[in-house]
Structure 1
Amino acid sequence: MSERTKEMHKDRSRKSFPFYRFCGTHRQIGQQFGEACSELIRKHRDYAVERLNGKFQVSSRRLQEAVLKYRPFVQKYAPGFDDEVQGIAEGAGITLEDAYLLQLRAEINHYCRSNTECTTFAILAEATSNGIPLIGQNCDLPAFYSDLGVVVEYVPDEGPACLMLTPAGQVSYIGINDLGMGTFANFLTCEGWKPGFPRYMLSRLALTKGTVEEGIDLVRHVERASSRNLIMLDKYGGAADLENTPTRDALIRPENGLLAHSNHYTADSLLEEERLHGVELENSRIRLKRMEELLRENHGRLNALAMQEILRDRGSYPHCLCQIHGDEKVQSPGDKGADIITFASVIAEPSEGSLWVAIGPPNQYEYKRYSFSGI
């Protein structure tokens, strides 16, 4: 470690996201989540409503009607998730509609929000220094999400346990399961959004399986509400990126043991679906190119520690992998107050049951290792 790196390391905060372990039935897990994080969940609810009303006025009744249109799809494909949302409402003392709003932020805000979200990667064992495959991402959202993030270990009575980073009150975001599989995700923009299975829940839905191919098959058979990019890795050497729209999808496989993605369609069959444009499309393309370059340059030397430095990279300023306060050029024209930053950074070793998480921006914070309680 160079002297300069040591000095930078010394200046970083060791503050970390709070960690919780919830177990039992899905209803009990939700109730525990709601009770333990009630203050953060209500704050998340208030932020979501304030952000929505800042773009256009929506009556409470209309908002309630809108969010509940998605519930039948959750009940159909993942009834346990619906049980958890009900439990969160009970535990946090909020309405069921408010609890569902937290699962549907992207769908409800689709036409009024900034889409510069997230750079993901997956690395097979052949490209690492220690034979341990890696997956993860920098998570780019409005800055207040740095205050809302939690690391949660879900241990349901039935099915695999999951270890996830998620905003308080969301039953799903990004993470790994105890079967050795990891699923991370990016925002994609296309037409045809409609009531259906919420995009944020797709990650944890895939994590009900133990292999990438099983996860892909499951996601493909869900009536999806919106577009989402899922990048997946399992302990058996499987890895894939699944770009999708509500009705179509395309698979991207690793090249030389490496995969990366940002926020635009890259599969030839889906290029016509792209609706990102202007500075946001430029930002996404530059971030993807930078990530691919850094992964290739470090092929064979990649591990959790090396990825920490890559995810702190700002070499492609102003369209950086690590986005900080003041990177105004990544905002949408007229989107005042969006304040998009890298609110969290996550590196996972699914085969080891390890999740390395830093509050964002990661160039200002140290990573902390989390693992399953039984490991």
Structure 2
Amino acid sequence: MVSPDQESSGARSSRTFPYYRFRGSHRQIGQQYGEACAGLIERHLELAQERLKTWVEVLTQEALMEAVMHYRTYVQRYAPYFDEEIQGIAEGANITLAEAYLLQLRAEIYRNFQPNNECTTFAVSSQATSNGIPLIGQNADLPHFYSEIGVVVEFVPDDQPACLMFAPAGQVSYIGINNLGLGVFANFLTCDGWRFGFPRYMLSRYALTCSSTVEEAIQAVRSLHRASSRNLIMMDRFGHAADLETIPTTDALLLPDDGILVHSNHFIGSDLQKEERLSGHQLVNSRIRQSRMKELLVGRKGELNADVMQDILRDRQTYPHTLSAMPEDDGTDNMTVASVIAEPGEGRLWIAVGPPHQYNYKIYAFSN
């Protein structure tokens, strides 16, 4: 079944996400980020708080600060530079430190009220591409308003690798690549046992700041006292790829099957399937997206490149459980808010505003 809102290529919009480059100390990067994106950050905070109030009548500033300080302890322990950036964002955007942290922690805060399906990821080794260049990326599925507050950011700290990422405005980490040839992308996983610890959204950039290879990235993530569950799919400039399903206390490692890796929002690793808490319609949705992505990649093995991936990520043939998702397709307000394709070894990203069947992709690369 095909949704009647399937778009033709001629109808696609050329709108793109705003792009920023921030350079200096981490405090300076945060301040630049906060100042440049103040309006978008304010809107992000407003929408996040409104969404939270649909589940609880009010979240007091005192309660928010108390929760934030528990998580902040772990950020300061493992990645004090992120804390510096978040302080800078608060200063630059003229919001409180607790509010700046809420933008990094919304998954942990929301988890108490509603699980979500978020994202379909892929990695394709050189043997499966048309040009020998490995690919990694995802369709990022979030509440629909995130398509209005997304940004493309190049972080260039004085003391760490540069990172080129897509992120909701005000977040110091989401998905992207570093200038050492490593790409890290991510999806939501649902399990019990969430706790105070290192926040899930920061895992991707943490790996990018600590690593140049997939092996190093895996070890970096394993070293953390993690707060929550997260799936991470990774690829380095050598073409090595791996998927790491994480829960707070352990993980499962998945490797490519004939050069192809695919993940959505349910556990695939046999050791973690008992941890699955996704059910019903959401589990069906996740399984169909995972199966459809794998079918399309396998079907075009040897032909795959950035252009072909754009066509695949625009797919809506399995409506209502589609790769390129519209609001209410699956009965929620989630949609594909951004679509990202990376060639980590080449330092390139292709990013489309979502859903990608309605928008054109734009290419981004490191400035230096």
- TM-score (normalised: structure 2): 0.97
Secondary structure, aligned partner of 1:266: coil
1:250 match: 252
1:340 match: 334
2:203 match: 202
Task: Give CA deviations for 1:241-265 in whole Å, capped at 9, x if unaligned.
Answer: 0001000101000011000000000
1:352 match: 346
CA contact (8 A) 1:188 1:228 kept: yes
Instruction: Note the residue ranges of structure 2 that are not aligned, 5 or more in a row.
Output: 1-6
User: Quick one: distance in 2 between partners of 1:72 and 1:213?
Assistant: 27
- CA RMSD after TM alignment: 0.9
2:3 corresponds to 1:9: no
Secondary structure, aligned partner of 2:82: helix
Once structures 1 and 2 are overlaid, which stretch shifts more, 62-71 or 217-226? 62-71
Task: Give CA deviations for 1:228-251 in whole Å, capped at 9, x if unaligned.
Answer: 000000011211000010001010
2:51 match: 51
Equivalent AA in structure 2 for residue 342 of structure 1: T
2:269 corresponds to 1:267: yes
1:321 match: 323
1:65 match: 66
Deviation of 1:114 (Å): 4.2
2:166 corresponds to 1:165: yes
1:94 match: 95
Secondary structure, aligned partner of 1:201: helix
Deviation of 1:53 (Å): 1.0
2:119 match: 118
Secondary structure, aligned partner of 2:310: helix
1:371 match: 365
User: Quick one: distance in 1 between partners of 2:283 and 2:133?
Assistant: 33
User: Quick one: distance in 2 between partners of 1:32 and 1:264?
Assistant: 37
CA contact (8 A) 1:68 1:100 kept: no
Deviation of 1:110 (Å): 0.1
Task: Give CA deviations for 1:146-178 in whole Å, capped at 9, x if unaligned.
Answer: 011000000000110000000000000000000
Equivalent AA in structure 2 for residue 204 of structure 1: R
Equivalent AA in structure 2 for residue 104 of structure 1: L
Secondary structure, aligned partner of 1:242: strand
Secondary structure, aligned partner of 2:231: strand
Identity score, percent:
63
Which 4+ stretches in 1 moved above 3 angstroms? none
Match 1:361 to one of 352, 355, 359: 355
Equivalent AA in structure 2 for residue 14 of structure 1: S
Secondary structure, aligned partner of 1:47: helix
1:293 match: 295
User: Quick one: distance in 1 between partners of 2:65 and 2:160?
Assistant: 31
Task: Give CA deviations for 1:177-203 in whole Å, capped at 9, x if unaligned.
Answer: 000010000000000101100000000
Task: Give CA deviations for 1:28-56 in whole Å, capped at 9, x if unaligned.
Answer: 00000000000100111111111111111
Secondary structure, aligned partner of 1:20: strand
Q: How many residues align?
A: 360
1:76 match: 77
Secondary structure, aligned partner of 1:345: strand
CA contact (8 A) 2:139 2:336 kept: yes
2:18 corresponds to 1:25: no
Equivalent AA in structure 1 for residue 235 of structure 2: L
Task: Give CA deviations for 1:274-295 in whole Å, capped at 9, x if unaligned.
Answer: 0001100010000000000000
CA contact (8 A) 1:146 1:344 kept: yes
User: Quick one: distance in 2 between partners of 1:242 and 1:317?
Assistant: 28
CA contact (8 A) 2:187 2:265 kept: yes
Equivalent AA in structure 2 for residue 94 of structure 1: I
2:256 corresponds to 1:235: no
1:215 match: 217
User: Quick one: distance in 2 between partners of 1:221 and 1:277?
Assistant: 30
1:4 match: none
CA contact (8 A) 1:11 1:364 kept: yes
User: Quick one: distance in 2 between partners of 1:32 and 1:113?
Assistant: 33
2:143 match: 142
1:155 match: 156
Secondary structure, aligned partner of 1:269: coil
User: Quick one: distance in 1 between partners of 2:147 and 2:15?
Assistant: 11
Deviation of 1:115 (Å): 1.1
Secondary structure, aligned partner of 2:63: helix
2:3 match: none
CA contact (8 A) 2:328 2:334 kept: no
2:226 match: 224
Once structures 1 and 2 are overlaid, which stretch shifts more, 341-350 or 7-16? 7-16
Equivalent AA in structure 2 for residue 344 of structure 1: A
CA contact (8 A) 2:21 2:154 kept: yes
